Amino acid sequence: MSTVYDCGDPGSRAAGLSAATSALKSGRLVVMPTDTLYGLAADAFDSSAVNALLAAKRRGRDMPVPVLVGSWNTIDGLVFSVRPQARELIRAFWPGGLSLVVQQAPSLAWDLGDTRGTVMLRMPLHPVALELLAEVGPLAVSSANVSGQPPATTADQARDQLGDLVGVYLDGGPADHAVASTIVDLTADQPRILREGAVSVREIAEVLGTSPAKLLDTAPQQG
């Protein structure tokens, strides 16, 4: 049986965060608000919970789960080598709607799906999400919907799709922007935008000192 907590009410929010923390630490799933869309969350270091997340979404391991972090510094323990380009983008857009695909640290004891040694990281700009991340640590978070169905912009929409597969629903009201994050691939020398979303190509190009056309170039890199 799942429980919905109204995070607009201080008492309910505190109770919801406590329940969500307990649920995540015991391997269960939580729906949480973010600054883009509602997310379906599991402890990133609990492979059984991540598998349950994929099953709830009816999604295969070929679409690995992104990870949300609660601070800039967290990335240092998760990434093999943090490129200067990553630091520049983090300073400019975190917390916010920018996801970075990077080479993960080889020592990490997690299983997010068929990642081929990479991980997609983001720090959300939402107080409930950040408070939960501060309590639990990095979370594997995907959009709170069944694959192929519209992403949830409210807790009710998430519950309609996921039901009792989720133990705790944190209701932070309608998603402010309801736009997915922009995804930048930083695993090669030339950054590439894989999906344009909440942060524009032009904004990213300005920070990196390059042209939007280069960021959108999908040709394989030489060398």
| Mean pLDDT, range 146-170, rounded to an integer | 96
Q: What is the pLDDT of residues 41-62, one digit of tens each?
A: 999 999 999 999 999 999 888 8
Please state, in angstroms and rounded to a whole number, the distance separating the CA atoms of residues 205 and 215.
7
State how far Cα 85 lies from the chain centre: 20
Question: Structure tokens of 81?
Answer: 């080598």
Phi, psi dihedrals of residue 53, rounded to the nearest 5°? -60, -50
Q: What is the pLDDT of residues 113-141, one digit of tens each?
A: 887 889 999 999 999 999 999 999 999 99
| Mean pLDDT, range 63-84, rounded to an integer | 90
3 state DSSP class of 122: strand
Whether pLDDT at 220 is above 50: no
Helical (H) or strand (E) element with 179:
none
128 contacts 135 by C-beta, under 8 angstroms: no
The structure's pTM equals 0.92
Please state, in angstroms and rounded to a whole number, the distance separating the CA atoms of residues 197 and 195.
6
